[in-house]
Structure 1
Amino acid sequence: MSYDVPTQEMLTRDSVTIGVDAAVYYRTSDPIATLSRVNDAHMSTRQLAQSSLRNVVGTRTLAELMTDRHGIAIQVKHILDSATLFWGIHVERVEIKDVRLPREMCRAMAAEAEAQRESDAKVVTAQGELDASVAFQKAADELAGSPTALQLRYLQTLVKISAHDNHTIVLPFPMEYIKKKLQK
């Protein structure tokens, strides 16, 4: 037999109200015990399924509930199976079908996720800028040792600038000439 546990409002350990849908699959393993040991074994199994699910959800945080549905289902199955065994009922499987969050919680989680993505993007950008500045410093150190290489790099930069539709004219002027004039 199967039983759809109706959606129940439940409170998690971290005080979040959620709605949980589940299904319980069970069978009668001892018909005599089912008829003699409990007034209505099937109704009792259903009520026990509801209360067991509520109790287990109450011991978990929202994060645990969202990431470990299978573990919760196994825990509920174990509780149900051990309690209903005396009634001649064997619980085959418990499935957590759906977990519904309140709308404001969904909005808050979406805003938190967006903020986390923006934060991660800023970290990546900052790391890229740091790597670029280290590379520029190494290039500057290399070029500082050779005035000819520095002049060639300067000319390459001018070529790149002039490649676009530019109306600005740039004339390279040797720095050594300026230094000599200033010393006189």
Structure 2
Amino acid sequence: MITLPFSLCLCIKVVQEYERAVIFRLGRLLPGGAKGPGLFFILPCMDSYTKVDLRTVSFDVPPQEVLSKDSVTVAVDAVVYYRVQNATISVTNVEDAARSTRLLSATTLRNVLGTKNLSEILSERENISNTMQANLDEATDPWGVKVERVEIKDVRLPVQLQRAMAAEAEAAREARAKVIAAEGEQKASRALKEAAEVMQDSPSALQLRYLQTLNTISAEKNSTIIFPLPIDLVKNFLK
């Protein structure tokens, strides 16, 4: 009776709401699955147990040097979110579920990126993340692990390649600017041609344009004003 309180302390264990306890009795898995949350009992010297956290865990995948499909070396890192969905399997089927998931994430990242071109790696991050998540989730399912999300954090290119891409982008912008300028010149030439045809057919329109030009020049308040002479008047003097 004296040792009863101490015996109860050794027999009664508590796990939190987000935890489960996997109990082994004499080396065998105790039937009924993982225990918790709340109180559970063990037999001292006969039972051993392992607590498993069911909360979502995140970790960074270190930058991986990857050779893309078009033979460009890039460094890519990612972040993975996962949780244990079956505590019993995560203890009995794999020695260290967390470490195994980390190692598998790094190799999966390299394998997925190795099938992509550089342009796809830069523009299809969401697609790459979804592919990684599906592959990891399938591979870790026998471990009782659920991979919830994968995000590509950063893609680092060699310095020389960055300079080459910047030069290519600058050349493309200059080419577009020249095309736009040429199109503007073409439209302006067409407008001038149409205006010349209208003035040729209507002499009064030419006179109105002449007066409008004089009005514009006088509004500038210049000290010197040059009056253009009509071509017909000049022809009379030349004769």
Q: Structure 1 residues 11 and 164 mapped into 2: Cα distance closer, same or farther (>3 Å)?
A: farther
State the partner residue of 2:98.
42
C-alpha deviation, 1:164, in angstroms: 6.2
Q: Deviations over 1:105-128 (max 9, x none)?
A: 221121112111111111111111
SS at match of 2:204: helix
SS at match of 2:71: coil
State the partner residue of 1:141.
197
SS at match of 2:197: helix
C-alpha deviation, 1:39, in angstroms: 2.9
Partner AA of 2:235 in structure 1? I
Q: Where do 1:115-154 residues align within 5 Å?
A: 115-154=171-210
How many percent identity over aligned positions?
Answer: 49
Q: CA separation in 2, counterparts of 1:93 and 1:173?
A: 79
Partner AA of 1:95 in structure 2? E
Residue pair 2:75, 2:156 contacting (<8 A) in 1 also: yes
TM-score of the superposed pair, with normalisation by structure 2: 0.68
TM-score of the superposed pair, with normalisation by structure 1: 0.86
Q: Deviations over 1:84-121 (max 9, x none)?
A: 10111111111111111111122112111211111111
Residue pair 2:129, 2:152 contacting (<8 A) in 1 also: yes
* Greater relative contact order, per chain length (Cα 8 Å cut-off, separation 6+): 1
State the partner residue of 2:44.
none
State the partner residue of 1:51.
107
State the partner residue of 1:178.
235
Q: Which structure: larger Rg? A: 2
Q: Where do 1:12-161 residues align within 5 Å?
A: 12-160=68-216
Number of aligned residue pairs = 182
Q: CA separation in 2, counterparts of 1:177 and 1:98?
A: 74
Structure 1: give runs of 5+ residues left out of the alignment: none
Structure 2: give runs of 5+ residues left out of the alignment: 1-56
The structure with more strand, counted as a fraction of residues: 2
- Cα-Cα RMSD: 2.2
Partner AA of 1:123 in structure 2? V
